Structure 1
Amino acid sequence: MTTPPSGPYDGSTPPGQPNQYPPGQPNQLPPGQPGGGYQPSGHIQPGYNPYNQGPSGKGSYRYALPGQPVGYTTRVGASLIDSVLQGFPMGIGLIVTISISTGPHADAAGLPLTIGGICSTVIWFLNRVVQQGRTGQSLGKKMTGSRVISISTGERIGFGANLGRELLAYFFNYLCFINLLWPLWDEKQQTWHDKVVNDIVVST
């Protein structure tokens, strides 16, 4: 009786032929065939998170975050910078209003304060809505090395979502001061408005 010839997939190698692929590997074809060539089992495409987890092993992200969630002090620092920028015209208007309120132009004392309020609103809109929606960074976030991204895509959240985020921030902060402190114990260091919009603030 003759011995059947060894097939190319039975794990054996003909004499004088080098091993072309690890025997016993499922779904692995010899080099030269479509899909052939051995790939290590630990090979992962860049940017892909096979465990569907955040950088700390907790949470649920669909990809590897492009940066670590920023700490609470970084968020506070960015907010303070934006607040100073926004409040500057309002402060100037208040000073002018006080200075002329007892003089001959007292009837027009409220005008500088009104103009200052309008300028502050314009700065807020350009900085926190337009700029942050377009780039993910307000001036404060740019100076502190942080940005807002979507948890679902890792991309900028855009103008509309960012406008909703900022309006919700004012609403939640006015409704309950605890919203400002929520990142201290939150797993993803998010505020309530971050959770509603499904965004996260990460380092650049």
Structure 2
Amino acid sequence: MTTPPSGPYGGPPPTPYGGQYPPGQPGQFPNQGYNPYGQGAPGPAGYGYGYAPPGRLADWPIRVGASLLDSLLTAIPAIAGVLVALIVNGDQEELGAGGGIAMIGGFVVAFLVWVWNRIVQQGRTGQSFGKKVTGLRVVDAHNGQLIGMGKTIGREVCAQIFNQLCLLNVLWPLWDDKQQTWHDKAVGDVVIRP
């Protein structure tokens, strides 16, 4: 029988957690890393030993549903602007000044709704309107914290660029081990269901 390792004065060895081991992890040494699935148990696919996101990774169909809800929210003011332009212009073939103002106003409001929803709300809470309805959240892939507005802006700009260049960006989560799109990978986030 071997004796357990001890500290310099005969007590337990020092720990990386302020003198205590994390709950459920007795005897875990600093070089082993924390694993909420138990000592020696593998973490979820793609995360390696010692890390698990703070929820389940979001499946592709629910992510598509959240994106469609966000698109619908943005489309409402744009469609309203077009309808008002048609009502103002009546049967005229060319767009008049009133119709043009209504249409431009609808698109400006749609853009402002997009900024509020996809950058401000998602940056502050991890949830856009669509993600809130479907119960999804965007978090940092490395520490599970919210990514903030700076990374959210980068994420949304990358999403617009990648979606215009190639449809594969939207389909990538179907076979990716972390179910990430390219824009998720670019800023280091994952979409989860808490």
**CA shift for structure 1 position 100:** 2.2
Is the 1:61–1:152 Cα contact (8 Å) retained in structure 2?
no
Query: Separation in 2 of the partners of 1:193 and 1:52?
Result: 30
Larger Rg: 1
Separation in 2, partners of 1:80, 1:54: 32
| Stretches of structure 1 lacking an aligned partner (at least 5 in a row) | 1-22
Amino acid at match of 1:93: G
% identical equivalent positions: 42
Query: Does 1:34 find its partner at 2:45?
Result: no
Structure 1 residue 101: deviation in Å? Answer: 2.4
What do the CA deviations read for 1:39-94 (whole angstroms, capped 9, x no partner)? 855799675886696423x3447522111111011101110111111111001001
- Cα shift at 1:103: 5.7
User: Residue type matched to 2:88 in 1?
Assistant: I
Structure 1 114/33 Cα, relative in aligned 2: closer, same or farther at 3 Å? same
Corresponding position of 2:104: 114
In 1: Cα distance, 2:58 partner to 2:131 partner: 10
Among 160, 165, 175, which residue is 1:175 paired with?
A: 165
> 2:44 corresponds to which letter in structure 1?
P
Kindly provide the amino acid, as one letter, of the partner of residue 34 in structure 1.
Answer: G
Any gaps of 5 or more consecutive residues in structure 2? 14-24
Change (3 A) 1:168 1:155: same
Match of 1:149 among 120, 124, 139: 139
Cα pair distance change 1:70/1:61, threshold 3 Å: farther
Check if 1:71 corresponds to 2:59.
yes
Q: Tell me the SS of whatever aligns to 2:113.
A: helix
Which residue in 1 is equivalent to 2:126? 136
Q: d(CA) in 2 for partners of 1:162 and 1:174?
A: 18
Q: Which has the higher helix share?
A: 2
Number of residue pairs matched?
177
Calculate the TM-score normalised by the size of structure 2.
Answer: 0.79
Change (3 A) 1:97 1:49: farther
2:182 is the counterpart of 1:192:
yes
The separation in 2 between residues aligned to 1:86 and 1:61, in whole angstroms, is 41
Q: Counterpart of 1:172 in structure 2: which amino acid? A: F
TM-score, reference length from structure 1? 0.75
